[in-house]
Structure 1
Amino acid sequence: MPGTTDTTDTTDITDITDITLIYRRADVYHDFYRGRGKDYRAEAAAVRELVAQRAAGGPAAGSLLDVACGTGAHLAELTGSFADAVGVDLSAEMLEVAARGNPGVPLIQGDMRDFRLGRTFSAVTCMFSSVGYLATAEDLDAAVRNLADHLAPGGVIVVEPWWFPEDFLPGWVGADVVRADGRTIARVSHTVREGRCSRMEVHYTVAAPETGVEHFTDTHVMTLFEQAEYETAFRRAGLEPEYVRHELFGPGLFVATRPGGAA
Structure 2
Amino acid sequence: MASLRTVLPPPVEEPQLYTDLAGWWPLFSPPEEYGEEAEDLLPMLHPEEGPARTMLELGSGGGSLAFHLKKHFTLTLTDRSAEMVAVSRKVNPECEHRVGDMRSLRLGRTFDRVMVHDAIMYAVEREDARATVHTAAAHCRPGGRVVLLPDCVRETFEPLTESGGHDGPDGRGMRYLMWTWDPDPDDETFETAFAYLLREADGTVSMSQERHRFGLFRRDDWLAWMQEAGCPATTRRDPWNREVFIGVREQD
Aligned equivalents of 1:31 and 1:92: distance in 2? 18
**Tell me, what secondary structure is at the counterpart of 2:167?**
strand
Aligned equivalents of 1:29 and 1:143: distance in 2? 24
Give the one of 228, 239, 252 matched to 1:236.
Answer: 228
Amino acid at match of 1:44: A
Amino acid at match of 1:112: M
User: TM-score, normalised on structure 2?
Assistant: 0.86
Q: Which has the higher strand share?
A: 1
How many angstroms does 1:61 deviate by? 5.0
Is 2:125 aligned against 1:167? no
Change (3 A) 1:34 1:102: closer
Aligned equivalents of 2:27 and 2:82: distance in 1? 17
How many angstroms does 1:145 deviate by? 0.7
Could you list the per-position Cα deviations for residues 165-201 of structure 1 after superposition, in whole angstroms to 9, with x for gaps in the alignment?
232223x222334322222212112222133211111
Length, aligned pairs only: 236
Higher mean alpha-carbon deviation, 104-113 vs 159-168, is at 159-168
For structure 2, the residue ranges without an aligned partner over 5 or more in a row are 1-11
Aligned equivalents of 1:183 and 1:224: distance in 2? 35
Give the one of 139, 143, 146 matched to 2:135.
Answer: 146
Is 2:100 aligned against 1:110? yes
Is 2:69 aligned against 1:73? no
Aligned equivalents of 1:149 and 1:48: distance in 2? 22
For structure 1, the residue ranges without an aligned partner over 5 or more in a row are 1-16
**Tell me, what secondary structure is at the counterpart of 2:155?**
coil
How many angstroms does 1:69 deviate by? 0.7
User: TM-score, normalised on structure 1?
Assistant: 0.83
Change (3 A) 1:260 1:27: same
Give the one of 109, 128, 133 matched to 1:119.
Answer: 109
Give the one of 16, 19, 30 matched to 2:14.
Answer: 19
How many angstroms does 1:50 deviate by? 1.1
**Tell me, what secondary structure is at the counterpart of 2:226?**
helix
Give the one of 145, 161, 179 matched to 1:190.
Answer: 179
Change (3 A) 1:150 1:167: same
Could you list the per-position Cα deviations for residues 41-75 of structure 1 after superposition, in whole angstroms to 9, with x for gaps in the alignment?
2322332221218x8xx365521101111111222
Could you list the per-position Cα deviations for residues 18-61 of structure 1 after superposition, in whole angstroms to 9, with x for gaps in the alignment?
311101122222212228x62x22322332221218x8xx3655
Identity of aligned residues (%): 25
Change (3 A) 1:59 1:51: farther
Give the one of 3, 19, 28 matched to 1:32.
Answer: 28
Amino acid at match of 1:50: M
CA RMSD of aligned residues (A): 2.1
**Tell me, what secondary structure is at the counterpart of 2:65?**
helix
Aligned equivalents of 2:244 and 2:45: distance in 1? 12
How many angstroms does 1:222 deviate by? 0.4
